[in-house]
Amino acid sequence: MGQTQKRRTTPPECSYFKLFQILVIAGVFYFSSGTQVTKLVNDKAHLPCGYNISAGELTNARIYWQKNNEMVLSVIHGKTDVWHKYKNRTIYDTIDNSSIVILGLRLSDSGEYSCIIQMKKEEYKVTHKHSVTLLVRGKWNFDLL
């Protein structure tokens, strides 16, 4: 009696699973593409925001810097306000794309910082967000005599 031979179909070159893997990897790189800055205790850290605001636009801008959703610094209508934990050691850099500089770094300064910029047209809307991870390491001297 005749046997029917089953034909094997070869999977397409780029299977759906491969496509899924590529998309997942691309997503991981996209969402983890924030900036990382590593400094030592007592150094200064420059945290970039990456958004240029002209002096004329400052009157229609709100700039917020936060660490883990706690305020660090705000610039509203050109007036800078620094929160207590960062007072006398944090500078808003108007020349360098809305970045901040934190002086006299402490271990507790480590964390994720977010720069949020709102511009006013009819009402204030978020026009830019950027995250920076700051890692502050200790200056340990392990030299033994």
Q: Which residue has the higher pLDDT, 31 or 109?
A: 109
Does 3 score more than 60 pLDDT?
Answer: yes
- Tell me, what CATH number does 93's domain have? 2.60.40.10
Q: Is residue 91 part of a domain?
A: yes
**CA dihedral sign, ordered 13, 16, 21, 22:** positive
Does 101 score more than 90 pLDDT?
Answer: yes
Q: Which residue has the higher pLDDT, 4 or 66?
A: 66
Q: Choose among 41, 97, 108: nearest CA to 70.
A: 108
If pLDDT is split at 50, 70 and 90, which confidence band does 95 have?
A: confident
Give the count of domains, the chain. Answer: 1
Q: Choose among 137, 50, 57, 21: nearest CA to 65.
A: 50
Q: Choose among 68, 28, 42, 21: nearest CA to 140.
A: 42
Q: Is residue 80 part of a domain?
A: yes
Q: Is residue 109 part of a domain?
A: yes
pTM: 0.71
Q: What is the extent of the structural domain holding 51? A: 36-137
